[in-house]
């Protein structure tokens, strides 16, 4: 694929999309074999699979623009922590099931409104990836929002756990809407995405009898490679094989 000369999407932005989906996929896959019940173990790992599919599409596209023998694998396995541009919320530890669910709901809702705009982008490849992913993300939003309601409006304990999850995650959602330098020219209406995102979260929280955190501190850094201490451990686990045996293949 040749680079699109009219593309407004810089390579760092595509890598940011790829990294966020890869890291959250890796995190969710930690639930494999540990889900609360079999059906939900399967659900969260299915979402992992969808996310890794998205990240492969983004990495392949980025690799085609970078050239110089870059591949989806070299971009995923051979970049360092400071080169990763994923959102901080994706690298946080899973916590309990409630925290995993809430993060998925926050992230999928963000993806949903982002991809809705991106599917009409003038960058044909990115528009195609977004249109394809949007179909899957619709399911992720539905599934995770139903769980937020079930746990929020469930037992005393599940409600308490959701309150705890909100406390753990609330300072990381603002990063969705704080554009990095490479994000300023992409022609998406980030303010609209924020507005739609907040409306959806508020509606589901109300049904779930959970308080929407109005004014919170916003932690940023992930988009420019400044990460929490958690990312290094994820990369160590994810990359050690390729780094120990470069070029190893199945």
Q: Residue numbers of the site for other proteins (CB under 8 A)?
A: 39-40, 42-43, 46-47, 49-54, 56-57, 124-125, 127-129, 131-133, 135-136, 139, 142-143
Nearest partner of 4 among 118, 116, 127, 119, judged by Cα? 127
Distance (Å) of CA 11 to CA 59, 63, 89, 224, 227: 10, 9, 22, 13, 20
User: How many H helices and E strands in the chain?
Assistant: 9, 0
Taking the least distance from each CB to other proteins, the nearer of 217 and 250 is 250
Q: How far is the CB of 191 from other proteins (least distance, A)?
A: 27
Tokens of 13: 């932005």
Taking the C-alpha atoms of residue 234 and residue 77, their distance in angstroms, rounded to an integer, is: 11
Q: For residue 76, count other CB atoms closer than 10 A to its CB.
A: 22
Taking the C-alpha atoms of residue 62 and residue 145, their distance in angstroms, rounded to an integer, is: 31
Taking the least distance from each CB to other proteins, the nearer of 56 and 170 is 56
> What count of residues does the chain have?
250
> What's the first-to-final CA gap in the chain, in angstroms?
26
């Amino acid at each position: 694929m040749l680079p699109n000369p009219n593309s407004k999407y810089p390579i760092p932005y595509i890598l940011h999309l790829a990294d966020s989906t890869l890291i959250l996929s890796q995190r969710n896959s930690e639930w494999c074999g540990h889900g609360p019940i079999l059906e939900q173990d399967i659900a969260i790992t299915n979402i992992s699979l969808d996310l890794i599919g998205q990240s492969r599409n983004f990495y392949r596209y980025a690799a085609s623009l970078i050239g110089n023998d870059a591949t989806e694998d070299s971009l995923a396995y051979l970049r360092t922590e400071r080169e990763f541009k994923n959102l901080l919320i994706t690298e946080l530890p899973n916590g309990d099931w409630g925290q995993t669910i809430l993060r998925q709901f926050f992230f999928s809702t963000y993806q949903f409104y982002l991809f809705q705009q991106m599917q009409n982008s003038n960058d044909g490849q990115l528009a195609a990836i977004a249109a394809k992913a949007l179909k899957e993300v619709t399911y992720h939003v539905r599934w995770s929002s139903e769980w937020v309601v079930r746990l929020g409006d469930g037992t005393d304990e599940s409600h308490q756990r959701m309150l705890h999850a909100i406390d753990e995650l609330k300072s990381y959602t603002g990063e969705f809407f704080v554009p990095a330098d490479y994000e300023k020219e992409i022609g998406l209406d980030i303010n609209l995405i924020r507005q739609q995102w907040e409306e959806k979260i508020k509606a589901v929280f109300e049904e779930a009898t959970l308080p929407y955190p109005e004014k919170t501190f916003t932690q940023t850094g992930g988009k420019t490679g400044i990460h929490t201490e958690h990312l290094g451990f994820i990369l160590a686990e994810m990359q050690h094989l390729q780094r120990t045996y470069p070029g190893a293949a199945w």
